[in-house]
Amino acid sequence: MGTPEANIVTPKFSALAEALGAGNPEQFLFAFSILYLVVVALTVVVYNLGFARKLPILKTAIVYIALLFGSIFTTLLALRLPVVESLLIATFVLGAYKYRMYKEKKENAAQS
């Protein structure tokens, strides 16, 4: 049959997870932690650019706590799927949209 080491199957990680060293069992916790922080940061930016509304402080805290908790599951997906890359694209698209809306609002205010 072969040696026991030959039967070990290692999962295929996403490019960022692999770059952080998630394939190495000794560095997996470090890679997961860094990936979690990146996912949280990008999720907060996407939320603020596209979905945030003025809420009372307690409701805002609940939203961010739910975001932190949900990012754990998103990070688990990010180990195998290009979640971080998708969040980066969403950040650029929503940032461009906000910038265009800002410029349009500024032009409308200047014309009035």
Yes or no: say if 98 and 63 are a contact pair by the CB < 8 Å rule: no
Can you list the alpha helix ranges (DSSP code H) found in 22-82?
28-50, 57-78
pLDDT (0 to 100) of residue 27: 86
Q: Which of 5, 16, 23 is nearest to 88 (CA)?
A: 16
Amino acid at 98: K
Q: How far apart are CA 11 and CA 4, in angstroms?
A: 17
pLDDT (0 to 100) of residue 84: 94
pLDDT (0 to 100) of residue 1: 53
Q: Which of 80, 83, 51, 85 is nearest to 66 (CA)?
A: 51
Q: How far apart are CA 30 and CA 37, in angstroms?
A: 11
pLDDT (0 to 100) of residue 99: 93
Below-50 pLDDT ranges, the chain: none
